Chain A
Amino acid sequence: MRRHAQQILSRLASNQSSQAAACDPLSKLSQTCVAVPAARAFASDADLLKTPLYDLHVREGGKMVPFAGWSMPIQYKDSMMDSVKNCRNNAALFDVSHMCGLTFKGKNTIPFLEGLVVGDIKGIEDGTGTYSIFTNENGGIIDDTVISKVADDEVYLVVNAGCREKDLKHLNEQLSKYKDGGVEMIQHDDRSLLALQGPAAMEILQPMTDLDLSKLYFSNFKKVDIKGIPCFLARTGYTGEDGFEISVPDGKAVELAEALMEHDRLKLAGLGARDSLRLEAGLCLYGNDLTDETSPVEASLTWTIGKNRRDACDFLGGEIIKKQLADKTPTRRIGFVSSGAPARAHIQIYSNEGEEIGEVCSGAFSPTLGQNIAMGYVPRKYAKTGTEFKVDVRGKMNTATVTKMPFVDTTYFKG
């Protein structure tokens, strides 16, 4: 029986509030759920789901924390600073098995999914993927995802752990409403997901597969044997570095992780480093930077809306988004750097004249740059690069400057 399903059942039986699960990724915990409902919901570690790598994490000194209903390593023995640097200079291995992998199959797979996401799935080549957005009827963001087109009748995608129940409910509802049929959804609850990220990722993985990785470019997807294990391999990630996400059968996850760990340039990295890395790369965290109430246009993710789809906008909430494409939204997501103490999520943003103009959605000290970086939502007239405003950190008005993202240059492998 499937691991997650079993654990989820026992969790439901123990009256787990769905609220905790609804708050997903990292800081989201801090905010939407402020960890209080989470603390209540997970009275003991026994209630938490465990990935097949749990024992390995503990053995390697992982500090296990509750995250979106799972017990996950936030860091290992290295400091977060060192862990981030090692990913940028060498390679990091993240267990992201808490995330939810799905395959859609059938002749109507693409028309069905294009009714739910903003991307041009029909238009991308087989064996490639794209970052996309599931919208709701109001044009808000249900979740963000990486969608890989295996073939015209098969699509693989990964959604956030914290959005799992919400997404599955949504997808099942939409499937049952979809009158044309010809599409089925498969949950990969029997597979684990490993993210191998960093400049050494290719040299580490290449000896384990016959596939020539120098021909597998950023966003490419392939079903391939790694150490003889049938895997789904996507050249993607959440760090801004070159790297791979490897979906591996649960029973082989530890074997593959241990084989990768034999390489001396690779170190395990936890959710803490992962959050710093994604923020440095300007990548959004659902729950912080994106919510059911923000639209892709507002979130500065207009680029995810396929060019071929902008006229019709024939996805959920499309009419609203089409209007936003024409008229723009009053506010948008921007990146900025600031002086003083880090401007973390929920800190208020003020104009230089003292008017409250927005709020920080993610913010931290960047280990790579050695300065404070953040994202926030502000009115468009403050969104231009170089614009200055203030952030109120515990009563101190620190100076902030709008900065282009990514904060740290990405090094995706484009051949």
Chain B
Amino acid sequence: MSLARSGRALLGQFSQLSRGASSQYPVQASWNFKDALARSYATVLSDLKYAKSHEWVKQEGDVATIGISDFAQEELGDIVYVELPEPGSNVTAGETFGVVESVKAASDVYSPISGEVTEVNEALVDEPAKVNSDPFSGGWMFKAKLSYSGDLDKLLDSGAYEKHCESAGDH
């Protein structure tokens, strides 16, 4: 089935939000990012690193915690299902680790780092909406043992990520 694949565009490249995305709606470039930002100034936390595809990483020693950003949850809308990796499996930087389903669409989410999954946020099974209400804390998705901490150097800091979100409005 191609949902996940066709949903690739969504988080990966917001400018394409739906071109192939989604299974459901023709939300294209005209999805109004500027207004979305102007409306609610997405929160960006300073102690995290961010992928251009809108996932965040928090590093503590060789353990990384991964989730999606406030901007991402806002754009996706009401999240109704989160598909997470299996503990013990390996994730690779830049590749999908799961799927987030909103009322609108199914969207792939990409791992910002490579490593072995040590724990997933089981609470999201029953309460996927935590990703909306608390994206940086209660809505975390998984923890992994980093295989290469250099992965984090390739990610954006909060300032760069904030600019990245703003420029999403210019597409």
Residues of A within 8 A of B (CB): 26-27, 29-30, 34-36, 38-39, 42, 45, 61, 63-67, 71, 74-75, 77, 79-81, 271-272, 275-276, 340-342, 344-348, 364-365, 367, 392-395
Contact = CB atoms under 8 A, between A and B. Distances in A.
Interface stretch (B18-26, B58-66, B111-119, B152-160): B18-26
Interface in B89-147: 99, 101, 103-104, 106
A80 B78 contact: yes
Interface in B28-63: 28, 30-32, 35-36, 39
A33 to B, nearest CB: 9
B3 A347 contact: yes
B125 to A, nearest CB: 10
B77 A63 contact: no
Nearest to B25: A74
13 contacts: A27-B25, A30-B25, A63-B32, A64-B30, A64-B32, A67-B26, A80-B104, A81-B78, A340-B81, A341-B81, A342-B80, A346-B3, A347-B3
B4 interface: yes
Contacts of B99: 341, 394
A238 B3 CA distance: 27
B67 to A, nearest CB: 19
A67 B24 CA distance: 12
B32 A276 contact: no
Contacts of B31: 63, 65
B103 A34 contact: no
A30 B106 contact: no
A374 to B, nearest CB: 12
Interface of B: 1-4, 6, 18-28, 30-32, 35-36, 39, 77-78, 80-81, 83, 99, 101, 103-104, 106
A275 B36 CA distance: 22
A99 B20 CA distance: 25
A80 B77 contact: yes
Instruction: Return the 5 tightest CB-CB contacts between A and B, nearest first.
Output: A365-B80, A29-B26, A81-B78, A344-B23, A341-B81
A271 B25 CA distance: 9
A193 B20 CA distance: 30
B110 to A, nearest CB: 16
Please report whether the interface of chain B is mostly helix, strand, loop or mixed according to DSSP: loop
A294 B19 CA distance: 27
A389 B27 CA distance: 32
A364 B3 CA distance: 13
B138 to A, nearest CB: 18
Contact of A347 (B1, B24, B27, B28): B1
Nearest to A80: B103
Nearest to A82: B78
A45 B30 contact: yes
Contacts of B81: 340-342, 365
Contacts of B101: 341-342, 365
Given A80-B78, A80-B104, A341-B81, A66 B1 contact: no
Nearest to B5: A394
Given A64-B30, A79-B103, A342-B106, 4 more contacts: A35-B20, A35-B21, A65-B28, A394-B3
Contacts of A365: 80-81, 101, 103
Contact of B103 (A27, A45, A64, A276): A276
Contacts of A340: 81
Contacts of A367: 78, 103
B78 A79 contact: yes
A347 B20 CA distance: 16
Q: Which of A35, A36, A42, A75 has the most CB of B within 10 A?
A: A35
B1 to A, nearest CB: 6
A341 B105 CA distance: 11
Nearest to A394: B4
Contacts of A81: 77-78, 103
Contacts of A75: 77
B42 to A, nearest CB: 15
Given A34-B20, A345-B23, A65 B1 contact: no
Nearest to B9: A35
B30 A35 contact: no
Contacts of B80: 342, 365
A352 to B, nearest CB: 19
A26 B19 contact: no
A63 B76 CA distance: 13
A30 B32 CA distance: 19
Contact of B22 (A30, A61, A64, A393): A30
Contacts of B32: 63-64
A345 B21 CA distance: 13
Given A30-B24, A80-B104, A35 B19 contact: yes
Given A77-B39, A80-B78, A365-B103, A36 B26 contact: no
A81 B78 CA distance: 7
Contacts of A71: 30
A83 B80 CA distance: 16
Contacts of A30: 22-26
